[in-house]
A and B are shown apart, each in its own frame.
Chain A
Amino acid sequence: METATTSPISLSERADILDILRGIALLGICLANYPDFSLYVFQMPEVVAKMPTAMIDKCVAYFHFIFIDGKFYGLFSLLFGIGFSIILLRSRSKRLGLTIFYRRIIILLLMGLAYVPLLWEGDILLLYALIGLCLPLFRNVSDKN
């Protein structure tokens, strides 16, 4: 019974637009971090200047800076908030309290805590988890406020 009430949202209930936007946001964040993932940022400036693709790289870097870098986390944060409100609405209708929300946030927090020291300094999961822990404070705040 418990597993039925806390199970993920069914396919028919899912909002396609949110999944599509999540995909776009994730792709954007992946592209934004590509200079790090490809180790391009670790190249010395004089090495970069001597590369046969130096001119194209410069254009790509401008394009990246203007259209990609820092342009997708806003959308991702917005979707995180919408996701939280959906969890709250479902929890209220099924009288589950914040169990599902806290379970997900704790998993995110643990992933963030492991990710930073063990894999990559450029983590963001920890920040989302820490902010997420504060969100229940806002759940009873009126829409006007």
Chain B
Amino acid sequence: MIHFEHVTYTYPDAARPALHDVSLSIPAGAFALVVGTSGAGKSTLLRCLNGLVPHFSGGTLTGRVTVDGLDPVVRAPRGMSRAVGFVFQDPEAQFVMDRVEDEIAFALENAAIPPAEMHARVEEALAQLDLTPLRQRKLETLSGGEKQRVAIASALALRPRILALDEPTSQLDPQSAAELLDALVRLNATLGLTVVLAEHRLERILPFVDQVIYLPDDGAPVIAGSPRDVLPHVPLLPPLQALAQALGWSPLPLTLEEGRRFAVHCLDDMSTDSTDFNGLRKKNSVLSVQSVEKNTPLLEVRDLEVAYGSTTALHGVAVALYPGEIVALLGRNGAGKTTLLKSLVGLLRPRRGDVLVEGRSIAKTDVADVCRRVGYLPQDPNALLFADTVLDELHITLRNHDIPVVNAPIVPEMLLERLGLADKIQKYPRDLSVGERQRVALGAIMVTQPGALLLDEPTRGLDYRAKMQLLDLLRAWRAEGLAILLVTHDVELVAEAADRVVVMDQGEIVAQGNPTEVLRSSPTFTPQIAKLFPESDWLTVGEALAGLDTGS
């Protein structure tokens, strides 16, 4: 169905090729997963399938690509549109019309499909992605997951035999992402559609994948094959596979069920060694929490009530954030997490209650002045970046606060070095990868050395490596006494980093406490390791390894 023969592709003005001598083939009806860090060439590979590379990107392509018997380089994207459906990262950036039905019909109108057949095909596409009840809705009123399903339905309207998706879940919360991936699995199984998917969230789909294509970012040859053959070569894996590799479980478990069989054996071996589970409990992190609470809180919220017009978004919220701790804020979409963050820096003014920074109310303080003491990283760092170079971004923040560069609380170059951007100082921020751009934004915020840092969904769209870099950074800052509030859906990150977890629902705080207790209270918040060892209190691979080690 898809064949790459010695394909090498170089972007215009690039020093080295984005794809280097790639040879692989994907059979018809396969579910192929493309993995690799951002910038390893996943998008480039996908774009070769329908000729967007090289037709939109320019550059030089050697070797031969054959897709469904066609040559995308010769046919160009338009000529490939009936063979390959393409779905992009940001659902909003691919819409032409404003209503679900019209959006799906757009490609059919262009292809001059007769009206009777067009209606049949639109119905079909709506049904395939469970969109029939939403058919009349305006696109702007849909959730991110629904939008992305509309994008898939629109791509399928021309009945291509191949569907290529470039990180379609990177803008979605875990619930919507899971639903979207389920829909893809169903399409692959029921229609025999060949799916080629670039994706960071591997946990959910690994069990359904026929083929994994790993693109190493150091220019090493591409590895393609069955998941069990390829995954051991991939450096950063979901917790289950990471633990399995560390413990040498073979064959590599792809689902939690498979993993549990190994886990049970492990624990059996241990209990024969006369250790009972109570002995496995790790030293409680409550100690550190208590020592922290003796200090005065850096940020405190009292009985906060925030409303948008007549709808109350927050109700009776009270939290405190102490220096030197990481607090994770969890909750569904619309629970009020972002609203709380915005209220903390004064972007939203409360109807009742008060926000105190270092003991003083911010009710009459300018947002800019609050943000000098409380850093806030919004969801989309792109909204922040506009300067010509990375270093300029930091200087601009200093200038905003009327701080001369020589008097800056931290030397901008040093901060950038800590952020791992030392070699990117003179680069144009928007040319960087998602993870790097986020760190530039962090630099622009942290250059005033605030005492607290609020992060809104910082791991969205990040690959495993960028996530680990962020995690290391946050831990280092915590050790230096920064108070960190982390709004996230990423329970694995919470398991790794948080000292305390706060759960919000419908504008109220419904649970608060140490991660072990709170994360295990609800299945949606339970990390993989906790699911694997339900009797233990381990949350992360490290804890499990340490626990198993002391046990045996």
Do A and B associate with each other? no
Q: Which residues of B are in contact with A by a Cβ distance under 8 Å? A: none
Q: Which residues of A are in contact with B by a Cβ distance under 8 Å? A: none
